Amino acid sequence: MTDVLIIGAGPAGLTAAARLASRGMRVRVIDRDEEPGGVPRHSAHPGYGVRDLRRVMSGPAYARRLVAQARAAGAQISSRSTVTALRPDGSGTEVDITSPAGRETVAARAIVLATGCRERPRTARLVPGDRPAGIFTTGWLQRMVHLNHSSPGTRAVVVGAEHVSYSAVVTLADAGCATVAMVTDADSHTSFGAFDSAARLRYRFPLLTRTRVTDIHGNGRVTGVTIEHADGRQRRIDCDTVIFTGDWIPESDLAVSAGLSMDPATRGPSVDTGLRTSARGVFAAGNLLHPASTADVCALDGARVVDSVEAWLMRRDWPASTAPIVVESPLLWCTPDRVAPGDTWPLRLQTDSSVNRPRIVITQGDRELWSGRVPWIRPTRPFALPRHATARATGLEPLAIRVDTSTTAL
């Protein structure tokens, strides 16, 4: 039996592995990919490591650093290994693993789920049309370009205008493929303004807002897409590549099959402020909980879950009950979605509206627990509240979080 089994070797899983192993625990990390490191491994642009490592690194360099730290601390990392079953029973958990070496069953005293999230592909978005080659998500594009060193095509339409959409534009340029349009049904992009301006100035593509792809054309290979503007106008854009970006969903199949309670809003596991799931001894961290935050935010999740795991292993600390968190429109979800007595944790929330300098208010019954302003909230970009925001919570009455629009210009 191992002390901690971590499922997922991305930033959250590797950071948790390094810290737990450095405290003398036996730690094993399981990952289904060819090499550990997660998404940063094939994201060649800079911008990684700012919050957790206090430096700016490229994705591959960041991934190598996290892998090296975990191994140096004594964690065992198993790549090309897939967990096919997870059976928690309160005192220990058995997992079934399939790898090129065969099948094995491993018992662990604690489990950390760090399986991350993925972009929804074309099929899940119900975009009609032909089924030619040349249609990718950003993840598959980055693998093709940075791991397989091949090019997707010569002219691409990028669907979506999130932060990751601009990463797709850079990757396409690295492969010699021009972005001929970025298309979003939203009123504007949801990346940083500086990123949008710099990318469009350098790569010379139009951003088509309030516009959607209604058809994909091609026999064998993509030849173009039909787009429709909000006023009903349609036109065709010739291209040989379509990249679907963003629109994230958590990789939660394992959590669902294990019978964990799920948050219907995030579609990831329900967790309390100690990142404990509904099964004793099973924890969750990273973009499995808040799709999709940046890699360094996920790494900080991995660092924070360590104390909760250690408390479980050393003292069997597990709250008997927790207070739920509910959100009001325009907020969509909050994670953690439950408050455990005595725990505080940074809350991450998602909205469906753009608001500058909003005041966020947390109440429990008739009591205001916390209020404060954040710089902005934007669709597709989770934002954080400080860990002390729930410190005054008592009992099991639900906490409510809202945007105070009475003092905010929408």
pLDDT of residue 107: 96
Pairing outcome for strands 93-99 and 46-48 = unpaired
Q: How far apart are CA 211 and CA 159, in angstroms?
A: 10
Amino acid at 15: T
Determine whether 72 is exposed, middle or buried from the number of CB atoms within 10 Å of its CB (0-12, 13-18, 19+).
Answer: exposed
> 3-class SS at 128?
coil
Question: What pLDDT score does 410 carry?
Answer: 43
Token pair in block for residue 384: 């954080």
What digits encode the pLDDT tens for the residues 148-198?
A: 899 999 999 999 999 999 999 999 999 999 999 999 999 999 998 888 999
pLDDT tens for each residue of 360-380:
999 999 999 999 999 999 998
Q: pLDDT confidence of 76, banded at 50, 70, 90?
A: very high
Q: What is the DSSP letter of 345?
A: -
3-class secondary structure, 8: coil
- What mean pLDDT is predicted for residues 39-46? 90
d(CA 292, CA 283): 18
> Distance between alpha carbon 186 and the CA centroid of its chain, in Å?
21
> What 3-state DSSP class applies to 315?
helix
pLDDT at 340 over 50: yes
For the residues 9-25, what does the mean pLDDT come to? 98
Half-sphere CA count of 129, side-chain side, radius 13 A? 25
pTM of the model: 0.94
- The overall longest dimension of the chain from CA atoms, in Å, is 64
Give the integer Cα–Cα distance in Å for 244 and 184.
10
The answer to whether 182 touches 212, Cβ cutoff 8 Å, is: no
Residues in the chain: 410
Give the helix/strand (H/E) hosting 60.
helix 59-73
At 331, list the tokens.
């907020």
Q: Mean pLDDT, to the nearest integer, of 217-228?
A: 97
DSSP letters spanning 72-132: HHT-EEE-S-EEEEEEE-SS-EEEEEEETTEEEEEEEEEEEE---EEE--HHHHT--B---
Ranges of H-type helices in 110-162: 122-125, 138-142
CB burial string 221-254: b at 16+ within 10 A, e below: ebbbbbbbeeeeeeeebebbbbbbbbbbebbbeb
CA 388 – CA 352 distance, rounded (Å): 25
Extract the tokens encoding 235: 């036109």
Confidence check: pLDDT of 81 > 60:
yes
- How do strand 2-7 and strand 102-113 relate by DSSP bridges? parallel
CA separation (Å) from 410 to 23, 373, 374, 376, 377? Answer: 48, 14, 14, 11, 11
> How many Å apart are CA 166 and CA 126, to the nearest integer?
23
Helices (H), 121-217: 122-125, 138-142, 163-174, 193-203
Would the pLDDT of 409 be above 90?
A: no
Q: Where does the pLDDT of residue 90 fall: very low under 50, low under 70, confident under 90, or very high at 90 and above?
A: confident
CA 67 remoteness from chain centre? 19
Is 334 in a helix, a strand, or coil? strand
Q: How far apart are CA 163 and CA 142, in angstroms?
A: 15
Quote the pLDDT of residue 92: 83
How does residue 407 score in pLDDT terms, banded at 50, 70 and 90? low
Q: What is the pLDDT of residue 45?
A: 84
CA distance 125 to 113: 27
Percent of the chain past pLDDT 70, that is, above it, reads 99
Average pLDDT, integer, range 305-329: 97
Cα gap 65→144, rounded to integer Å? 23
To the nearest 5 percent, what fractions of the chain are helix, strand and coil? Answer: 25, 35, 40
Tell me how crowded residue 23 is: count the other CB atoms within 10 A of its CB: 15
Rg (CA), the chain: 22
| Integer Cα distance of 243 and 137 in angstroms | 5
**Can you tell me whether residue 3 is helix, strand or coil?**
strand
Structure tokens at 274: 């100690």
